Chains A and B, each alone.
Chain A
């Protein structure tokens, strides 16, 4: 099974530079998720790999052959589309068999493959039906079945879950991950949903404006974001950002509303220059304690219980901050809390460039 190498790929649409000098190495068998806000170039890149878009510059190499100038049919790639793109006038069986028929497989071979795929995806009961008679989730399974029956070198997924309702999406996410393990093939998956990216990927490629912001394992990106954009994109609720002033040789900092937190005893203590920073704190790293020493004093503005956890919103100066509390930590809005901060798990960013400060 070949690896995928995207080598300095550029894509222009007229004057618009959609993909900028992008390079990614995908080892064989890896599950890579391209994620980013809309217009970041992720779909363009995926379609370029499939051969549905021509790249303006650079190369795409699958194994030892360049596929950049091949027709889609000659790339031996399978793809699952957002709209499923099932063939409406063919039965489920014929939909799945389509690629095999196109490649002149024998009827026996086709039957074997379709049976295998339909059993794997649990769609054996619908083989005689037509796509319009299926629910969204069933259609998506058929679309996946159509992709996997061909012995493709590479599987592409273009936002395959975004047309499904939330509950179905969770189930399908798990199945796609299981499918990857079973098939052991290389998957390239595009989504705008950071949860999908986090849960599915071996490696996330986070894109913005046609450029890679960061590439790495999900928890790597989550815990060690390279910049404010990455930090803010991953995680729900999103990371809280506030402007802080570090003083006293990096041992103390002032929050936007004037409260002082000591950095003594943390990893960053003394290793950071005095000055202004953007401080990123995830809501789960703010927790209620009874002590008042070296805590953030918060007047809870809005409470949002979700059952297991409760989101408490408060303001530090002008800064809107969300903390993730135990369900019964707060009973009503307006309560005053003292929150301990897991400073070692927070991030400091240069307020000018947005880059993370390495401690």
Chain B
């Protein structure tokens, strides 16, 4: 009896011991993940403005404000358009580059390393650099265009409404296409060689081989890459901030920039919390929908 008791005790001890071991990790996750989220929701129901100590419950006033805020919906529209344009460009350029690198190229690793450099740079630095590149007087972009045009050009990349989005887009695509390239290169290199050879012998065209064999094979990886980049693009901040600060006017204001503006310029903390919650909601819907699609495609 004694032995069986001590055995049960030991089991019990072991059971508690494993919880004890994971407790610190759970605690940290709760601290950095769950606590800010809960706090955010709480703040969004208060009316913190940094000017008084009022912390009382205010109901849904900030959420109601969301619906009447044209500037907010415009910034969301900017964000969506920005994502919808930049993502396919990065995907296609990255894919073409990856196709190129499937061929035998001498010193391939070196070239891959060089191509990857932009992703290593901090986005703030990249944005600041591109701002200088696009400078209307000193920037090399205008200079290069001048060579082709044959006369001096004074394109106002950071101010002209028609040029400011393309300039940001160039910076963004320049920095993050290599990410797509790397992931797609890895995926493409893993496509079974014998399947491609079998398709060659079967007489399949490049397009048929791509559609029936290559694309399904790289789809899961490509999907993850699109998801990661899509989320990144949706919350884009650094590049836009350094290049235009959302201007001219609110022309290039993305949702992140608007939330930042409301929180740290207007000090409308509770309202910006409501905006942040809206962003979380949108992203959650996208991620859940994406993951569900992936399950289906599996």
Contacts and interface: CB of A to CB of B under 8 A. Distances in A.
Interface of A: 50-52, 71-73, 75, 77-79, 81-83, 85-90, 98-99, 101-103, 146, 150
Given A87-B213, A89-B216, A98 B201 contact: no
Contacts of A90: 212
Contacts of A88: 195, 216-217
Interface string B94-135: 000000000000000000000000000000000000000000
Contacts, number: 68
A79 to B, nearest CB: 5
B205 interface: yes
B191 to A, nearest CB: 10
A105 to B, nearest CB: 11
A85 B208 contact: no
A43 B28 CA distance: 58
Contact of A150 (B194, B200, B202, B208): B202
Nearest to B216: A89
Nearest to A97: B202
B194 A98 contact: no
A73 B217 contact: no
B23 interface: no
B152 to A, nearest CB: 52
A73 B201 contact: yes
A303 to B, nearest CB: 44
Contacts of A73: 200-204
A146 B197 contact: no
B213 A99 contact: no
A78 B213 contact: no
Interface in B195-225: 195, 197-205, 208, 212-213, 216-217
Contacts of B198: 79, 81, 85, 87, 146
A50 to B, nearest CB: 6
A102 B203 contact: yes
A50 B198 CA distance: 10
A71 to B, nearest CB: 8
Given A81-B194, A83-B194, A89-B217, A72 B200 contact: yes
Given A79-B198, A85-B195, A87-B195, A99 B212 contact: no
Contacts of A81: 194, 197-198
Given A85-B195, A90-B212, A99 B200 contact: no
Contacts of B232: none
A98 B195 CA distance: 12
Contacts of A78: 201
| Majority secondary structure of chain B interface residues (helix, strand, loop or mixed) | helix
Nearest to A77: B201
Given A78-B201, A99-B204, 5 more contacts: A73-B202, A81-B197, A87-B195, A87-B213, A146-B198
Q: Which of B198, B205, B212 has the most CB of A within 10 A?
A: B198
Interface string B51-92: 000000000000000000000000000000000000000000
Contacts of B266: none
B201 A79 contact: yes
Nearest to B192: A85
A99 B201 CA distance: 8
A72 B206 CA distance: 13
A83 B216 CA distance: 19
A71 B200 CA distance: 8
Contacts of B216: 88-89
Contact of A98 (B192, B197, B212, B217): B212
Contact of A87 (B200, B201, B203, B212): B212
A87 B212 CA distance: 8
Given A87-B212, A89-B213, A98 B200 contact: no
Nearest to A94: B212
Contacts of A86: 195
A102 B202 contact: yes
Q: Which of B192, B200, B201 has the most CB of A within 10 A?
A: B201
A99 B202 contact: yes
Contacts of B192: 83, 85
26 contacts: A50-B197, A50-B201, A51-B201, A52-B197, A71-B200, A72-B197, A72-B200, A72-B203, A73-B201, A73-B204, A75-B201, A77-B201, A78-B201, A79-B197, A79-B201, A81-B197, A81-B198, A83-B192, A83-B194, A86-B195, A89-B213, A89-B216, A98-B204, A99-B202, A102-B202, A146-B198
Contacts of A150: 202-203
A89 B217 CA distance: 8
Given A89-B216, A90-B212, A102 B205 contact: yes
A81 B200 CA distance: 13
A86 B195 CA distance: 6
B4 to A, nearest CB: 48
A150 B204 CA distance: 13
A180 to B, nearest CB: 19
B218 to A, nearest CB: 11
